[in-house]
Amino acid sequence: MKSHEELMFKLEITPKKYVISLDNPKPIQAYVKNTSGIEQDVFVTVESFFFRIVNPTAVKHYTTQIYRHMKPKETLIFEIGTWDNATLNLPIEDLAKKYMHLGSIEGCLQVHHSEQWGFPLLVAEVCDDIFPDTYDTINRGWCIIQLVAEHETEFMKKRKTDFEEIRAKELAKKAEEEKIRHAKWKKEQEEKEQKEKEEMEKKKKNKKCPKCIIM
């Protein structure tokens, strides 16, 4: 089911699907057209261990982003290619935890738009809730398109296996931490209830046996 923001998405994206070859160094060209009828601030973001926006306006880790203030009917043209070999071969352990939210390490293309945002965002700040509720919901929205590899290489299979192993360990770690937090909270609640019970018993006892007042 699409979110409210996705239903309100007013831009035209071409192509609709992104199948990219890791073996082919030639980037694929993509287009985002402002069909909303008003000026829009547009953010295109790619999060992927394999693919990137060519000539982005912002880069952080395995995230690339391009920003444009677009007039009605204006088209933003950009390219999606592969990371260079040095980036592709970075130790995955160092950054995998930052991308646990991705469905797969092929990643996704995200497009956000809003009327008169006014300035480009840092790439780290792009997320589902970057637009305040005060914006007219008719004139803002976002969508996500999954990136797909044309075919899996042995390198990709190895990276995927490594990523999923790290994800499994991280999820297990978080589950254990949550278990410890819950046990701690439960103990604190029990101690609190016991203390309240003791105080109530003390008050009842004092009512039954009032202290004598010596004149």
Q: Which range in 24-33, 41-50, 189-198 is most confidently predicted, on average pLDDT? A: 41-50
Q: In terms of C-beta density within 10 A (0-12 exposed, 13-18 middle, 19 or more buried), how is residue 151 classed?
A: exposed
* Percent of the residues in the chain that have a pLDDT greater than 70, as a whole number: 80
Q: Find the helix or strand (DSSP H, E) in which 109 lies.
A: strand 108-114
**Mean pLDDT on 161-170:** 86
Residue 93 and residue 163: Cα distance in Å, rounded? Answer: 8
Q: Which of 23-37, 120-134, 138-152 has the weakest average pLDDT? A: 120-134
Q: Which one, of 11, 29, 113, lies nearest residue 67 by Cα?
A: 113
Domain residue spans in the chain? 4-152
On the question of pLDDT at 174 being above 90, the answer is: no
On the question of pLDDT at 79 being above 90, the answer is: yes
> Looking at per-residue confidence, does 128 or 49 come out higher?
49
Q: Tell if the pTM clears 0.85, that is, is over it.
A: no
Residue 182 and residue 180: Cα distance in Å, rounded? Answer: 5
pLDDT of residue 137: 47
Question: 4-152 architecture in CATH?
Answer: Sandwich (2.60)
Asked whether 66 and 41 are in contact (CB, 8 A), the reply is no
